[in-house]
């Protein structure tokens, strides 16, 4: 009887896909796909003579770890609002999203000042801080007008709305600034946060009357 020249079966395609998805599990859908594909692949491998069991298990493990990390991140973000007293003043230092800032909040930039600011560290105004929110207002609804027009509107709005709220010391010693939406966040966020900032280093105390 001639020898069997049938080539050995290859690796299971779903197992390969599970491993690939697990390796890019920083994306939630990829992590979920890694777990599902890995489980299906293990079921197929019980009925087929194929390689890939190790890849399927690795995909399930990597995907599961990524999903756990994403769940922890969501829980962290949902509970990471500033701690405030009955009057709304921040009572302890914590990292939070710019969207959670309110008028009167004092803060420092978590990653340093830059064009794009997502996270800041809110700080009680009695402690040293870099900046303070003076007033918050919304730009009119409509299509994104472009960065230059948003900046112009923010400068005018902050001059009209923020300057009257500042103490004489703050007006003389601090520099005006503002946080504004970009083209990516415009549809869901047209908020302008008018701020005053220490020219260098930090300042202490509130800038508001």
Q: Nearest 10 degrees: CA dihedral of 53, 57, 63, 69?
A: -170
Q: What is the pLDDT of residues 90-108, one digit of tens each?
A: 999 988 888 889 999 999 9
Model pTM? Answer: 0.63
Region label for 52, one of left (φ > 0), alpha (ψ between -120 and 50) or beta (otherwise)? left
Q: How sure is the predictor about 124, in pLDDT bands with cuts at 50, 70 and 90?
A: very high
How far is the CA of 168 from the CAs of 43, 73, 173, 178, in angstroms?
73, 42, 9, 19
Q: What is the pLDDT of residues 36-64, one digit of tens each?
A: 988 988 888 888 888 888 888 988 999 88
Q: State the DSSP string of the chain.
A: -----PPPP-B-HHHHHHHHHHHTTTSHHHHHHHHHHHHHHHHHHTTS--B-HHHHHHHHHHHHHHHHHHHHHHHHHHT-PPPB-TTS-B-S-EEEEGGG--TT-EEEETT-S-S---EEEEE-TTS-BSEEEEEEEEPPSSS---HHHHHHHHHHHHHHHTGGGB-HHHHHHSEEEEE---TTTTTT--EEEEEEE-SSS-B-S--B-
pLDDT at 30 over 90: no
Residues 6+ apart with CB under 8 A from 42: 15, 53, 56, 57, 60
Give the chain's radius of gyration (CA, Å).
Answer: 27
Q: How sure is the predictor about 147, in pLDDT bands with cuts at 50, 70 and 90?
A: very high
How far is the CA of 156 from the CAs of 161, 163, 173, 190, in angstroms?
9, 11, 20, 15
| The pLDDT value given to residue 158 | 96
CB 90 within 8 A of CB 122: yes
């Amino acid at each position: 009887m001639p020898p069997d020249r049938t080539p050995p079966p290859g690796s299971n395609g779903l197992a390969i896909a599970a491993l690939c998805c697990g390796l890019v599990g920083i994306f939630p859908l990829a992590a979920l796909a890694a777990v599902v594909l890995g489980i299906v692949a293990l079921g197929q491998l019980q009925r087929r003579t194929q390689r890939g069991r190790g890849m399927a298990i690795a995909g399930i493990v990597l995907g599961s770890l990524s999903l756990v990390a994403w769940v922890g991140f969501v829980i962290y973000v949902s509970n990471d609002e500033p701690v405030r007293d009955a009057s709304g003043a921040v009572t302890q230092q914590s990292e939070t999203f710019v969207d959670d800032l309110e008028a009167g909040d004092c803060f420092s930039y978590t990653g340093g000042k830059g064009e794009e600011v997502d996270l800041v560290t809110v700080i009680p105004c009695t402690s040293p801080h870099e900046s303070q929110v003076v007033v918050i207002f919304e730009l009119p609804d409509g299509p994104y007008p472009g960065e230059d027009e948003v900046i112009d509107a923010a400068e005018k709005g902050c001059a009209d709305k923020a300057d009257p709220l500042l103490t004489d010391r703050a007006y003389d010693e601090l520099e005006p600034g503002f946080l504004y939406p970009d083209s990516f966040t415009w549809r869901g966020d047209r908020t302008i946060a008018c701020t005053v900032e220490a020219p260098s280093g930090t300042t202490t105390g509130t800038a508001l009357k």
